[in-house]
Amino acid sequence: MIKKELGLGMLLVVIAAITGAINPAFLSLVNLLNMANLIGLFGVFALGEGLVIITGGIDLSLGSMFALLGVVFIDLLTTYQVPWPFALLAVLLGGLVLGGIQGFLVTRLKMQPFIVTLCGLLIYRGAARYYTSDSTRGFGYGDEAGTLSSIASGNVAGIPNTFILLIILALVLGVLLHRSVYGRWLYAVGKNEEAARFSGINTNLVIATAYIISGGLAGVSTVLFVFYTNSVSPSSFGNFYELYAIAAAVLGGCSLRGGEGSILGIVLGTALLQVLQNLVNILGIPNSLNFAVMGTVILIGVLADQQLQARRRRKVALASVARTTPRSASAQEKSAPPRGAAVVPTRTGDQA
């Protein structure tokens, strides 16, 4: 399990080293801190996406959720002059509620996650554009949320707060996923929902919780992005961001079939994606190739991982054959004579 993360970490180091060798500006403090900020921004909601993917689902609605929650957030602060703690609370609650609705549709009404969240993507985006009449919302010259703004886009000893927040959230979720009862249930449900249900686990609640957490983290990300860009244009804000999250999770070892993945992997996946983007700029590769580079790396990464896993599985299978063969042979010797009818099985159907 941990091998995958180790490989990913090494890949990250190698790529960074090569890029740094070609262009030392890559390793400059300014560039590194800038990357850390972006990793923080994109990592927070990738964590939530990862949880949803571990259930065997997917959340396509995140980018649109940012737009909808973002315009509401700015409107609360500027138009309605709501004190920032309440506005923050409203956005976080909004994310949780939207996640809850999606979780409900997926578990109770048995709808496919892809469809539910695709519809979410369309609906939230449409709602955001209608709400603002398609106009960009931003902060005026007033200082509506100075405190929050300085928290969200500030830094401690030069390290961006977004990155610090990502580390904190990753630690909390890491404990939740890898040490808590809920995390164990999440993996069990993702791997084999039926066996989990037969073990008395409330599988619907476990899955819905993953969507709720993802929604909540989307709320957090909304606030971070709003203060990163200082304005929200409802038709483009957060476009495609859910795909970054899915890419990061998959690159970090989550399987879309569910039941696999780790928090460390997701964080490393996010970091790798941001490094790649940065590398495109630094090495003077045409910016238009950005997505193509990203796509190629993910494709190769997942392919390599699959090949390695298949090899490992073959090895395990061979080992278990070697282990069981002598034992079953001796069991047969013991039970074969005398040639009694009783040893002949009374069922034959399932051997075939």
Instruction: Give the residues lining the site for another protein (CB under 8 A).
Output: 175, 179-182, 184-185, 187-188, 191-192, 194-202, 259, 316-317, 319-320, 324, 327-328, 331-332, 335-336, 340-352
Name the amino acid, one letter, at 4. K
Q: Residue 51 CB, nearest distance to another protein (Å)?
A: 16
Q: How far apart are CA 164 and CA 171, in angstroms?
A: 11
Q: By C-beta, is 257 or 300 nearer to another protein?
A: 257
Q: By C-beta, is 5 or 59 nearer to another protein?
A: 5
Q: Residue 208 CB, nearest distance to another protein (Å)?
A: 15
16 contacts 32 by C-beta, under 8 angstroms: no
Q: By C-beta, is 79 or 325 nearer to another protein?
A: 325
Q: By C-beta, is 138 or 257 nearer to another protein?
A: 257
Give 136: exposed, middle or buried? Use CB within 10 Å, 0-12, 13-18, 19+. middle
Q: Collapse the DSSP code of 156 into the 3-class scheme (helix H, G, I; strand E, B; otherwise coil) and give the result.
A: strand
219 contacts 16 by C-beta, under 8 angstroms: no
Give the residues across from 60 on adjacent strands: none
Report DSSP state, residue 55. T
Q: How far apart are CA 177 and CA 175, in angstroms?
A: 6
Place of tokens 């090895």: 315
Q: Residue 316 CB, nearest distance to another protein (Å)?
A: 6
Q: How far apart are CA 49 and CA 113, in angstroms?
A: 12
Q: Residue 334 CB, nearest distance to another protein (Å)?
A: 8
Q: By C-beta, is 108 or 179 nearer to another protein?
A: 179
**In this structure, what are the phi and psi dihedrals at residue 285, rounded to the nearest 5 degrees?**
-70, 140
Q: By C-beta, is 79 or 320 nearer to another protein?
A: 320
Q: Residue 262 CB, nearest distance to another protein (Å)?
A: 15
Q: By C-beta, is 185 or 227 nearer to another protein?
A: 185
Q: Residue 117 CB, nearest distance to another protein (Å)?
A: 25
Name the amino acid, one letter, at 224. L
Q: How far apart are CA 208 and CA 187, in angstroms?
A: 14
**In this structure, what are the phi and psi dihedrals at residue 314, rounded to the nearest 5 degrees?**
-60, -40
Q: Residue 115 CB, nearest distance to another protein (Å)?
A: 18
